[in-house]
Structure 1
Amino acid sequence: MREAAHALVSDPAIPAQVQKVLRHSVRGQVLDALRAALVDGELVPGEIYSGPALGERFGVSATPVREAMQQLALEGAVECLPNRGFRVLSRTERSLAELAEVRALLEVPVVLRLARSVPAATWEGLRPAARATAEAAAAGDLPAYGEADRAFHRAVLSLADNGQLVQVADELHRRAQWPLPGAPRVRCAELLADAAEHAALLEALIARDLPVVESLVRAHLAGA
């Protein structure tokens, strides 16, 4: 994030509507950066972060940081502390297990229904999405893996032609990616194993092997 971005949105020579778009863009970039920092463990559960301090870190004013943090509060990642900043909320094993259970209730029956009806050629078309997760895993890039992982699941669920389902499932998936307090950083080998499950799932879907599909989806969500 660069200071120049903030300078642009406060330039009186730029029309108001253009400035609005630029502000939205800066806020979106800050939000993406904060989400990546959450997944990567840079924003520590229980710690309090101020808008101005984070703004200085990203080279922007505190305003887009506060706006991004308010969005994260709506997503359940942080809580707003008046006149203090934002505290990153702590996760528990129980909360992660609950997320996995809800995701399974949503995704397992949908994927099984798709397994019965979607042609093999369509599943073949998802191989690039599966490879993207493997590439991010091999690089050990946890935030990039998180994005690729969610993209793969969205691609699968989008075949159900239900936008509300995709939106809800993706939000649950995002929340499941926030680490537990004090948890060790996820190792590259663990990411590779998780990515390999995507490829295995595609093989089972292409073969229409429903028992294997169900087993893989349940195991994958339980280990997410």
Structure 2
Amino acid sequence: MEQGSARERTRPTYASVASATTPASVRVPEQSCGEQARGAEMYGDQARTDQACREQARGEHTHSEPPGPRAAVQRHSVRGQVLDALRAALVDGRLVPGQVYSAPALGARFGVSATPVREAMQQLAVEGAVEVVPNRGFRVSQRSPRERAELTEVRALIEVPVILRLARTVPSARWCALRPLADATVTAAAVGDRASYAESDRAFHGAVLALCGNEQLVMVADDLHRRSQWPPGNNPVTRRADLLADAAEHTALLDALIAQDLTAVQSLVREHFTGAES
């Protein structure tokens, strides 16, 4: 009996938790038994009055404990995984432009409930990849060749000047550190894995631009890059050939940056943005 009482005496009160996490100027004072009782009596609940006094005598508080972060983290993780899967399906053509997909049907495909699918689809709608169809689901957006060309032009306006400036200021050793990222694009292209290529392609471009130190620029460029990666081309052979050519340009550009060959860098970086697949 004394052992149980000792455990109860060591429990932190609401005031002690507040003191540890709240600035001194706004600390929450511990309520007395009478104050808690008066608060309970305002609602005409004598049982709450008695419970308040008993809990303070044991060093407890009447507030319910806040929920732990585990459920929120798991839900966010599921939503993120579904979002990644949907993006991959957009890139490799499994989600067909113009087709309408319902959240429950996609949830059944991924083995999850409709809620994380719906949340992921809402994010894709913000990115312009899908559009909401009331009472039906989400239609995969159709992007014209002109729209893709416009995206590529905007990307070039942002990335080309930055890369040319970095070519004059970044030492060779820092460019050498990006070799694994360039090699990853070659590996994905060699097997024709368009979804993996899309991720490695954006990773390479993002790492290059990150050397400028402008986080906002990197985020804007990444968003434009993602939008330009879908829908895929119709001919699988042509698509694989385009990926191989694009990956080869990454390698050649990195070689020129390491060698600090500014003329070659200028030619390669401009050429890299002439195709819709870059």
Q: Can you list the C-alpha shifts for 1:15-64, whole angstroms capped at 9, x where unaligned?
A: 55211111100000000000000000000000000000000000011000
Match of 1:222, SS state, is: coil
* Equivalent of 1:66 in 104, 115, 118: 118
Map residues 141-160 of structure 1 onto 2, 5 A cutoff. Answer: 141-160=193-212
Deviating beyond 4 angstroms after TM superposition, the runs of 4 or more aligned structure 1 residues are none
* Equivalent of 2:129 in 73, 77, 89: 77
| Corresponding residue number in structure 2 for 1:125 | 177
What CA distance in whole angstroms lies between the structure 1 residues aligned with 2:223 and 2:169?
A: 26
Match of 1:37, SS state, is: helix
What CA distance in whole angstroms lies between the structure 2 residues aligned with 1:188 and 1:96?
A: 19
Match of 1:64, SS state, is: helix
> How far has the Cα of 1:97 moved from its partner?
0.7
% same residue: 70
Match of 1:160, SS state, is: coil
Match of 2:249, SS state, is: helix
Q: Can you list the C-alpha shifts for 1:193-224, whole angstroms capped at 9, x where unaligned?
A: 11010010011112222232122112112212
Match of 1:86, SS state, is: strand
| Corresponding residue number in structure 2 for 1:183 | 234
Match of 1:44, SS state, is: coil
> How far has the Cα of 1:187 moved from its partner?
3.3
What CA distance in whole angstroms lies between the structure 2 residues aligned with 1:220 and 1:175?
A: 17
| Corresponding residue number in structure 1 for 2:153 | 101
Match of 1:213, SS state, is: helix
What CA distance in whole angstroms lies between the structure 1 residues aligned with 2:273 and 2:227?
A: 13
Deviates more, 1:32-41 or 1:200-209: 200-209
TM-score, L = length of structure 2: 0.73
The alignment status of 1:212 with 2:264, answered yes or no, reads yes
The alignment status of 1:56 with 2:102, answered yes or no, reads no
Gaps of 5+ in 1: 1-14
| Corresponding residue number in structure 1 for 2:75 | 23
- Decide whether aligned partners of structure 1 residues 16 and 81 sit closer, same or farther in structure 2, where only a CA change above 3 A counts: farther
Q: Can you list the C-alpha shifts for 1:166-208, whole angstroms capped at 9, x where unaligned?
A: 100011000110025x732353332111101001001111222
What CA distance in whole angstroms lies between the structure 2 residues aligned with 1:60 and 1:118?
A: 46
What CA distance in whole angstroms lies between the structure 2 residues aligned with 1:128 and 1:53?
A: 38
Q: Superposition RMSD on alpha carbons, in Å?
A: 1.3
What CA distance in whole angstroms lies between the structure 2 residues aligned with 1:42 and 1:143?
A: 11
| Corresponding residue number in structure 2 for 1:12 | none
Q: Can you list the C-alpha shifts for 1:51-94, whole angstroms capped at 9, x where unaligned?
A: 00000000011000000000000000000111110000001110
The alignment status of 1:91 with 2:143, answered yes or no, reads yes
Aligned positions, number: 209
What CA distance in whole angstroms lies between the structure 2 residues aligned with 1:73 and 1:219?
A: 31
TM-score, L = length of structure 1: 0.90
Specify the code of the residue in structure 1 equivalent to 2:234: A
What CA distance in whole angstroms lies between the structure 1 residues aligned with 2:219 and 2:163?
A: 16
Match of 2:273, SS state, is: helix
* Equivalent of 2:165 in 108, 113, 117: 113
> How far has the Cα of 1:111 moved from its partner?
0.3
What CA distance in whole angstroms lies between the structure 2 residues aligned with 1:89 and 1:188?
A: 23
